[in-house]
Amino acid sequence: MTVQIMNEVIAAISTPAGAGAVGMIRISGEGAKRVFARVWISEYNSVDKLETHRFYYGKIAGLSTDKPAIPSLSRDLPKSIDNVLAVWMKAPHSYTGEDVIEIHCHGGAFSTKAVLSAVLNAGARPANPGEFTRRAFLNNKMDLVQAEGVADIINASSERALRIAEEQLNGKLSKEILAAEEELKSTKAFVEATIDFPEEDIEMIEHEKIGSQIAIVHKRLKKLSDTYSEGKFYREGVRVAIIGKPNVGKSSLLNSLVGSDRAIVHQTPGTTRDIIEEDVQIDGINFKLIDTAGLRDALCEIEKIGIEHARRRLAGADLALVVLDGSACLTSEDEKILEETKNVSRILVANKCDICSVLPIADIQVSAKTGAGLDLLKEKLAGFVGVHNFSEAEGTVVTNLRHKKALDETISFLDKAGESIIKKESAEFIAFHMQSAMNSLAGITGEVTTEDVLNEIFSKFCIGK
């Protein structure tokens, strides 16, 4: 983002589309009050007398492009658009660190768009996706990890995802990264002392001491990186493909887990042809259940397409619920499905245990009809994520792939530094690897970053945030 763009006044609707009680238009930039003055109507509260962080009642006037500015008390004021509350937040005490005006109008789709249109005609330009948060980052109101936490809060699909995103926004991960950076910086300073002051006979060579300090940071970052295997499920949810031959109760199982008749259930085999996806919350984690067509030799072209879709969903799933008919012996179709899923994470579910149970190979016996065993199944689903092995008191969880890659890169550089110590290489090599490790860590928080990285991150934000 260039300085010129940073100096521009931007505006956008910051509430969801559609009808609602309140709609909010946010304006940010050095000239925010100047733009606001051109659309504000108030007999008692002129813009130049507004106090920061206080709400004021007034009206927003429509502004045609051939009238660039209209005095607040002019007799020729255009017809007002809406009665509003407005608040001015003086820089740097605002979300973006700039002067910010928020206009709270009625939440109809037309009213918010009309107010935004008036603001744009008054001299603001439409904000780009994530531009308010990007300005907050560039104005040092938050680091890059915290900025990503904002997006994660907005997109959180479960209780745990929301909780972890809030911790990220509040700086929990950032503190971990900064602490590791400080330890590496201290160790690197000692290494560089052997380069700058060789006559002092600082024995580099206190290899064990330096290697031990690097190993401590290495262990901490490795533990943090390893949390991603669970953390990604908290952030993105778990895709669960319900697989089995026709008429074993896959759709009934989905309906029972969801708690509503979402999928069509019928005794005729092959009823499910299309893919049905439903979200369900278990222990604060979002599970996306995917009901698929029964796997068998297709009897018609439509069923064949449904089975192909089922296999694609299986390939893209994090976990498979392989549903078997618990009231009957295994068939050749069951055997094929068990063979097809043997290399994927799976839970073998014997359904229809209300009739009888003859399948000891199953991990769990359930009845989609009566609900028996469903609580145990939910426990197994939660256990797949590792939720019962993770304690919030143990530390931070990594949920973002960008952070995971940067941590792994850091660990790789620390490995190289350790190898240089073992080989008794020159201190310059050790210092170089350590600096590379520190740069990778700094890339997580945005201390070291590029325009391309910022564009990639903030392009995923919604407009208005």
Q: Which of the pair, 313 or 15, is modelled with greater confidence?
A: 15
Residue 244 structure tokens:
């089995």
**Site of tokens 């149970």:** 357
pTM value is 0.80
| pLDDT at 184 (0 to 100) | 94
Q: Tell me what pLDDT residue 176 has.
A: 93
pLDDT digits (tens, 9 = 90+) for 291-322: 876 665 554 555 555 666 667 777 788 998 99
Q: Can you tell me the mean pLDDT for 390-414?
A: 84
Residue 302 has a pLDDT of 57
pLDDT over 90 at 327, yes or no: no
Q: Do the beta carbons of residue 168 and residue 146 sit within 8 Å?
A: yes
SS (H, E, C) the chain: CCHHHHHCCEEEECCCCCCCCEEEEEEECCCHHHHHHCCEECCCCCHHHCCCCCEEEEEEECCCCCCCCCCCCCCCCCCEEEEEEEEEECCCCCCCCCCEEEEEEECCHHHHHHHHHHHHHCCCEECCCCHHHHHHHHCCCCCHHHHHHHHHHHHCCCHHHHHHHHHHHCCHHHHHHHHHHHHHHHHHHHHHHHHHCHHHCCCCCCHHHHHHHHHHHHHHHHHHHHCHHHHHHHHHCEEEEEECCCCCCHHHHHHHHHCCCCCCCCCCCCCCCCCEEEEEEECCEEEEEEECCCCCCCCCHHHHHHHHHHHHHHHHCCEEEEEEECCCCCCHHHHHHHHHCCCCCEEEEEECCCCCCCCCCCCEECCCCCCCCHHHHHHHHHHHHCHHHCCHHHCCCCCCHHHHHHHHHHHHHHHHHHHHHHCCCCHHHHHHHHHHHHHHHHHHHCCCCCHHHHHHHHCCCCCCC
pLDDT at 5: 60
Residue 160, pLDDT > 60, answer: yes
Which pLDDT band, with edges at 50, 70 and 90, does 248 fall under?
confident
CB 63 within 8 A of CB 40: no
Q: How many residues does the chain have?
A: 465
| Sign, Cα dihedral of 438, 443, 449, 453 | positive
Alpha carbons within 13 A on the beta-carbon side of 266: 8
Least confident of 131-140, 185-194, 213-222, 339-348: 185-194
User: Could you count the other beta carbons within 10 Å of the beta carbon of residue 385?
Assistant: 24
Give the CA angle between residues 139, 144, 148 to the nearest 5°: 120
In the numeric block, which tokens belong to residue 362?
A: 């199953």
Our CA angle for 69, 70, 71, nearest 5°, is: 125
Q: Hey, what domains does the chain have and what are their CATH numbers?
A: 3-143 (3.30.1360.120), 159-227+398-446 (1.20.120.430), 235-389 (3.40.50.300)
Residues 339-372: tens digit of each pLDDT: 888 888 999 999 988 887 777 888 899 998 898 9
Query: Does the structure show a pLDDT above 60 at 99?
Result: yes
